[in-house]
């Protein structure tokens, strides 16, 4: 908030920097998840293809959650909005 109020950077720069930090972290989490569960559950698909699909889905979920959080005034209203957006 302080940097934004003095004009150091805008919302676009913040959003892109957050995205570029989260991309490798989510890829690592997704790979770790599939290393643990792929053979346990007996998935038949291509390992790399499934990891990439779930990685993209996790990035989309993070983006939706960030959008809900930024449009809400408090935690309670964000929790009320989340199921309407994330469940369908």
Over residues 58-74, the pLDDT tens digits come to 898 888 888 888 888 88
Is 0.85 surpassed by the pTM of this model?
no
Share of the chain above pLDDT 70, in %: 94
Higher pLDDT, 80 or 26: 26
9 lies in a domain?
A: no
51 lies in a domain?
A: yes
Domain span at residue 72 reads 22-86
Number of domains in the chain: 1
pLDDT digits (tens, 9 = 90+) for 21-47: 889 999 999 999 988 888 888 888 888
7 lies in a domain?
A: no
pLDDT for the residue 48: 92
SS3 string, the chain, reads: CHHHHCCCCCHHHHHHHHHHHHHHHHHHHHHHHHHHHHHHHCCCCCHHHHHHHHHHHHHHHHHHHHHHHHHCCCHHHHHHHHHHHHCC
């Amino acid at each position: 908030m302080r940097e934004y109020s003095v004009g150091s950077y805008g919302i676009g720069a913040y959003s892109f920097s957050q995205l570029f930090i989260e991309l490798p972290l989510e890829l690592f989490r997704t790979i770790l998840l599939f290393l643990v569960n792929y053979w346990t559950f007996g998935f038949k698909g291509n390992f790399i293809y499934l990891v990439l699909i779930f990685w993209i889905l996790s990035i989309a979920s993070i983006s939706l959650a960030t959008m809900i959080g930024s449009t809400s005034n408090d935690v309670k209203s964000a929790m009320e909005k989340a199921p309407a957006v994330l469940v369908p």
